[in-house]
Amino acid sequence: MANFKGHALPGSFFLIVGLWWSVKYPLKYFHQKRKRSQYYQRLEIIEAAIRTLFSIIGILAEQFVPDGPHVHLYSENHWIKLMNWQHSTMYLFFAISGVIDMLTYLNTHVPLGVDRLVMAVATFNEGFLFYHHVHNRPPLDQYIHSLLLCAVFGGTLSIFLEVIFRDNIVLELFRTSLTILQGTWFWQIGFVLFPPFGAPKWDQKDDSNIMFITMCFCWHYLAALCITAVNYSLVCCLLTRLKRHGGEIIGIQMLKSDHKYQEALLGGSDEE
């Protein structure tokens, strides 16, 4: 996957998840304040299912692209396409994380917090593999990937904290912004290392390129913060307007349609 598409695909994946979270968590937060956060369980399950699905697609893509390993790991004294295997492993952890997320909401016997722990592990694992991934490459290539690690390990820390400080909106928004950052940065890596549309190659050893890339990373995070902030305020405005114009209807309808579902779901209780 060492080409433009190979970076655009995971980038889009993280970007979509990040954008979705930048809508979901504000929504949940405002409903929580009004004591109506229960019907987010179905949402969470659907989200986790989609994340799992995407991850499995990622695994299959890495394995069965024409120059992929096709599930062969070792033959004739050498390892086959370890790069693809490593990427598959990353996706596999995110798939497991998705499954655990679903289980946490479907089964009351799974302790709350396990979903966050496994998500933190999946994120750490991504960073761990990337860290040992980029030896023996040109400086800019190494550097631009190592910047990704800031986003990844920052995310790991933040998600791990959510094991203990669950449903903290600030930590959730932090995670959201770091996920968007990862998404846009993957795209940036693609543009820098494999310039599409016949753009000229970057000089991989030029110090001022590295200096620009450092700053560019900060700008990406700034953009990620802004996107998170804009979506947060859009959700806030929307809900306020709905409320003002007697628009609680939507909420009520959601509640109603969820009612039967919730009863089945909450046979047990989600006490912590």
Footprint of a second copy (CB under 8 A): 29-30, 78-79, 82, 85-86, 89, 92-93, 96, 100, 109, 111, 113-114, 116-118, 121, 125, 128-129, 132, 135-136, 150, 161, 163-165, 168-171, 173-174, 207-212, 214-215, 218-219, 221-222, 225, 229, 233, 236, 240
Q: Which residue has the tokens 């302790």?
A: 111
Cβ atoms of 89 and 67 within 8 Å: the answer is no
Residue positions counted in the chain: 272
Closer to a second copy by CB, 49 or 92: give it.
Answer: 92
Q: What's the closest the beta carbon of residue 77 comes to a second copy, in angstroms?
A: 9
Closest separation between CB of residue 214 and a second copy, Å? Answer: 5
CB of 259 to a second copy, least distance (A): 26
- The residue among 236 and 242 lying less far from a second copy, judged by its C-beta, is 236
C-alpha separations of 156 from 14, 123, 166, 200 in Å: 15, 6, 14, 35
Residue 233's CB is within 10 A of a number of other CB atoms, namely 11
- In the complex with a second copy, which residue's Cβ is closer, 135 or 260? 135
* Coil, helix or strand at residue 194: coil
The answer to whether residues 23 and 230 touch, using CB atoms and an 8 Å cutoff, is no
Cβ at position 28, least distance to a second copy in Å: 12
Residue 80, amino acid? I
Tokens 């390990």 -> residue? 153
CA distance 121 to 126: 9
As measured in angstroms, the least distance from the Cβ of 215 to a second copy is 5
Residue placing its CB nearer to a second copy in the complex, 203 or 256: 203
Which is nearer to a second copy, 165 or 253 (by Cβ)?
165
